[in-house]
Amino acid sequence: MIYIGLGSNLGNRIQNIENAKYLLKSHGIDILKSSSYYETLSWPDTTNPKFINIIIESNTNIPADRLIKIFKLIEKKLGRRKGPRNSPRTCDIDLISYRDKIFLDKIKIPHKRMSKRNFVLLPLFEIAPDWIHPITKKSVKDLIFSLPIKDITTIKQI
């Protein structure tokens, strides 16, 4: 399975995510499952607007490097502009995991910071409770339990 993270903290955040899902489908990326919406504080600047994030599951045959190119096109189409790292954005799409494969060259899969991010782990657990990190071999549940308590208490399912 392939897991993709979608997020937004500018404009109509839920509509931005729904538009991204529609555009993913229009590029041949099937969506088998979609998590609930989760709201989190922006990181590292918590004064920025809150994010809404989801994780979707797909079984597309599109290669990982091509998926990332499609994600960038969709982000741009939905109004994402180049800005400072971690700045607010209308749409953010990340390839979280690709068929339990490990890529460490130009693209890093599984996503290198996913095991520290509540907005990835909790929605991933919702749709794939048996997922195992291909590098660390830790379950998604164990990764959640390794998060700081603040990361558990500040995320809200909506």
**Residue 9, domain extent:** 2-157
In this model, does residue 155 exceed pLDDT 90?
yes
140, containing H or E segment? helix 140-145
Q: What is the pLDDT of residue 86?
A: 75
Count of domains observed in the chain = 1
CA atoms within 13 A on the CB side of 141: 3
Query: Could you check whether the bond before residue 129 is cis, i.e. omega within 30 degrees of 0?
Result: no
CATH number for the domain spanning 114: value is: 3.30.70.560
Taking the model in full, what pTM does it have?
0.94
Mean pLDDT of 3-16: 97
Each residue's pLDDT tens digit, 10-29:
999 999 999 999 999 999 99
Mean pLDDT of the chain: 94
**CA proximity to 42, closest of 70, 72, 96, 83:** 83
Q: What is the pLDDT of residue 85?
A: 76
Q: What is the pLDDT of residue 47?
A: 92
